[in-house]
């Protein structure tokens, strides 16, 4: 334990004494959150979103004219209650159930829902039963916040750990540590815990500071959100440790880290929703830990999801972390 704590303390002090890196990790997420909040919060949508429960084939049979209407995006759903919650929070303009008794749901305070209701009546006649839901709109910044914080954590975890260990190996620091009783697992675990503590501290400061001015929407439990955030950060740190465990070149490490980060950033839902994307794209996104962390965080903050409801994401993050750190310790080389 003394060996582990000694390496942990050394790594913490190394990061805290690097004032430029510390300032950048604090300033960048602040600037991104405030900039996007004031730039895009008042922007309007270019397309109407309509959720479909029961299959697109049935919609064609019930209302063929509606399906052929331009500028409407139809998104299939299997979970009726989850889709209703989307309408409730203005994340979807209308929901249509094309079951045995066709129904549609609109939000009574949604302008887009009002206009789409006129379209439904004009194209489908009286074939749908009207249902009303009430709920406050989720602002763009509330939807975007988990993505921007998750993306900042991803870069800080992967590059902050990967480059550091490769630099240690390149300048001979790891070779000197090899002569000590310190084991590979102890060393990697100390790096993981050090980076995890710093990332959680910085993310908490950023969230709290921005919340003082923007007042984010928070429907769920902060403790559940903290657990998801910690597991997500730990999983991405483990990926960085695995990449750096056997790499001696900073250029090679940078290339591998970019190969990992760019697909994760584009397909995790950090920048835009994947609801209207191809099914194979949605399936592919599930292999990335950032997808599970952002999805769980958004469900907790915007929909009030409980610990049990986000447990599948938690299991994935926990298992991936254990697998990555175990493989990293096994293939780790000091020289």
pLDDT in tens, 109-126: 777 777 777 776 666 555
Same domain, 106 and 163: no
> Is residue 292 located within the same domain as residue 189?
yes
If one counts the domains in the chain, the total is 2
89 and 222 both lie in a single domain: no
Rounded Cα distance, 96 and 130, in Å? 10
pLDDT digits 0-9 by tens, 17-76: 766 666 666 666 666 666 656 555 554 444 678 888 877 777 777 777 776 677 777 888
Q: Which two tokens stand for residue 97?
A: 């159930």
Say yes or no: 171 and 299 in one domain.
Answer: yes
pTM of the model: 0.67
What is the rounded CA–CA span in Å between residue 100 and residue 278?
Answer: 27
How confident is the model at residue 328, as a pLDDT?
83
Judgement on whether residues 119 and 211 belong to the same structural domain of the protein:
no
Q: Which residue has the tokens 């940078």?
A: 254
Pairing of β 129-133 and β 72-77: unpaired
The answer on 220 and 92 residing in a single domain is: no
82 and 145 in a single domain? The answer is: no
Out of 65, 99, 133, a domain closes at 133
One domain, residues 99 and 17? no
Q: Mean per-residue pLDDT for 309-321?
A: 92
Residue 205, classed as helix, strand or coil, is helix
Is the predicted pLDDT of residue 227 greater than 90, yes or no?
yes
**Do 18 and 154 belong together in one domain?**
yes
E runs forming strands in the chain: 48-53, 72-77, 94-97, 103-107, 129-133
E-strand ranges in 38-108 read 48-53, 72-77, 94-97, 103-107
Cα–Cα distance, 185 to 163 (Å, whole number):
18
Which structural domain range is residue 97 located in? 48-133
pLDDT digits (tens, 9 = 90+) for 135-178: 666 677 777 888 888 888 888 888 888 778 888 888 888 888 88
Answer yes or no: do 120 and 228 share one domain.
Answer: no
Among the candidates 133, 154, 170, a domain finishes at 133
């Amino acid at each position: 334990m003394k060996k582990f704590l000694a390496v942990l303390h050394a790594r913490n002090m190394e990061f805290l004494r690097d004032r430029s890196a510390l300032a950048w990790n604090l300033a960048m997420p602040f600037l991104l959150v405030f900039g996007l909040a004031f730039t895009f919060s008042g922007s309007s949508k270019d397309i109407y979103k309509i959720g479909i429960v029961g299959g697109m084939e049935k919609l064609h049979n019930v209302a063929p004219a509606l399906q052929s209407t331009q500028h409407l995006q139809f998104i299939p759903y299997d979970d009726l209650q989850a889709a209703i919650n989307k309408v409730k929070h203005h994340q979807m303009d209308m929901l249509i159930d094309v079951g045995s008794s066709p129904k549609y749901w609109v939000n009574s305070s949604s302008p887009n829902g009002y206009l789409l209701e006129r379209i439904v009546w004009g194209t489908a006649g009286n074939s749908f039963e009207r249902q009303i839901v009430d709920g406050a709109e989720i602002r763009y910044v509330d939807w975007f916040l988990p993505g921007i914080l998750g993306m900042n954590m991803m870069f800080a975890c992967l590059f902050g750990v990967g480059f550091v260990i490769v630099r240690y190996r390149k300048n001979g620091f790891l070779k000197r540590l090899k002569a000590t009783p310190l084991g590979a697992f102890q060393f990697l675990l100390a790096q993981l815990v050090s980076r995890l503590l710093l990332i959680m501290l910085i993310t908490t400061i950023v969230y709290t500071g921005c919340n003082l001015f923007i007042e984010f929407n928070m429907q769920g439990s902060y403790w559940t959100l903290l657990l998801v955030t910690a597991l997500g950060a730990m999983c991405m740190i483990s990926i960085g440790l695995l990449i750096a465990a056997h790499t001696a070149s900073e250029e090679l490490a940078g290339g591998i880290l970019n190969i990992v980060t760019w697909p994760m950033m584009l397909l995790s839902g950090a920048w835009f929703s994947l609801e209207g994307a191809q099914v194979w794209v949605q399936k592919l996104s599930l292999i990335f830990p950032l997808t599970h962390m952002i999805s769980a965080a958004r469900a907790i903050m915007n929909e009030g999801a409980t610990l049990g409801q986000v447990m599948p994401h938690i299991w994935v993050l926990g298992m991936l972390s254990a697998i990555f750190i175990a493989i990293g310790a096994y293939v780790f080389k000091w020289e």
